[in-house]
Structure 1
Amino acid sequence: MSDEPKRRPILSLKNPPKVVLPEGPKKKPARPPAPPAPPPVQHDWKCKPCGAGFSIEASLADDVVIRCPSCNAKLGTVADFRADPPPTKLRARPTKRA
């Protein structure tokens, strides 16, 4: 006997690899074209603290407090948004229209 340690047995895989047939890869059916993306939502106002867009509903009363839908910051009342020009204490700015 020699000083070399005994050889370990060769391990085998439980799930052997799949054999590719000589006919080549199968063709997948073509996907239908993706539907066009919807147009971006147009908002009337932007929150100054976070920049999220929102719109004021016409059916709201003047004393309703408007909060940002994203960061929940108090932006002002509906009467402030309807005033022309808007007061400086308003925490929102009108969006630019193209």
Structure 2
Amino acid sequence: MEKAVIFVRITMNSREMKFSKIAAFVACVALLSSCDYQKYNHKEQKDPNANNQYVYGVSPDSLPRQMANKYEANPELEPRVEAIRAKLYGGSGSAVVKQ
């Protein structure tokens, strides 16, 4: 009975060495280029309300003018609002600060 002998070749010829170097270089470039992967993953859109003081206010630190609208509380809607809040958040109590 003949014994099966397994030879493991440790050395590479120049063609295989060149291929492995190129493959390693391509892999390194792919890994390093993926660092900024999400940088361009969005669409630039023009804001139609860019200079609208009603939406954004006079300055970045100020409140918009549309926040000045005050609405009267409707007591008929309170039970419905509380029921929806209890269903969504699993409890009662106001999560909204009342002014």
- Superposition TM-score tier, normalisation by shorter sequence: under 0.3
Q: Which has the higher strand share?
A: 1
TM-score by length of 1: 0.20
Higher relative contact order (CA 8 A, sep 6+): 1
